Structure 1
Amino acid sequence: MAQADSSKWSEHLPLVLLSIRSTVKEDLGCTPAQLVYGTTLTLPGQLVPSNDSTEVNISDFTNRLTQQMLQLRPVAPRQSLHKAQVNKSLLTSKFVFVRVDAIRKGLQHPYEGPFLVLKRTDKYFTLNKHGKPETVSIGRLKPAYTDSEYETLPTPAPINNQKVNATPTLPLFTLPPVQTRSGRQICKPARYVHFID
């Protein structure tokens, strides 16, 4: 039942339950009250004689409907009480990682980067991504923690292409060949020789 004042719904509950108990169920062919009590219930509408001669004045009805519609007020949208959580160090970090939103293959990194931050705003950052400025939403960013000593290291000077004869001063240590229990020597495949035992 649709009521204008929904705060007193419990007062209307007995009438709703009465209507449910007195409704004929199609699959049973009777009402739930007939199954429980063995007879039909007397409804409030059967106690009061009906007067079918009452006619509704259309102009009066439209006036009342117009007044009711004028009293309706729109409901203001609910303001969001919580803000998106942003890492505090994201606002000060020089480098950030960018989350990959595409479907990833197995063993693919979830983040790209780190990329240098060029410009910050409340909703997005402008990054130097592969030499070009790119605007990325703040929700896809994660701060990159780098050591400041690595950021300020001087670039190494180019090395001249002179060959230096480096002879080891100590003899190289070689492992003795590995043998099986029967005395046969094990030869490793050539493609695995560069791995350390």
Structure 2
Amino acid sequence: MCTPSPISWSRELPVILLGLRSAHKADVDATPAQFVYGTTLSLPGEMFEPAEHSSPSEFVQQLINTMHKVKPTDTAHHTKREVFVNPALNDATHDFIRNDTAKPSLTPPYDGPFKIEERNPKSYKIQICNRAVNVFINRLKPASKHLILFNQK
């Protein structure tokens, strides 16, 4: 393999990799293919005449048995996540509304403060530019009383 060959190395690579995967490792008394697949690989010369293989060592047999017992994990349920609603929103008189549109950098993520007109379990009616707008509570953030007084001056 070390001498220059007219055959491209990419044609030789699969045979080399097959040899590495089927080479017996004395320290673990197994081949890499036995660790991955649980059995030895059938080499091209052995497809017509079965070769005699020694039984896998106790370590390899234990690994094979362990891998057969592995079960898949349950799927995750991402839809059961609760939406965070700030508890201070229940007592607030004004709030900020999260702006989800594309914005240039250094633009504040919230608009407001706006006056709360009416509370419902999942949405609030907010006074925006002299008209009442329904907004879902997951987009709201309570405004502090100090900030409201500062914006009104």
TM-score range, shorter chain: 0.3 to 0.5
Higher strand share: 2
* Structure with max Cα Rg: 1
State the structure with bigger RCO (CA 8 A, min sep 6), 1 or 2: 2
**TM-score, scaled to structure 1:** 0.37
**TM-score, scaled to structure 2:** 0.47
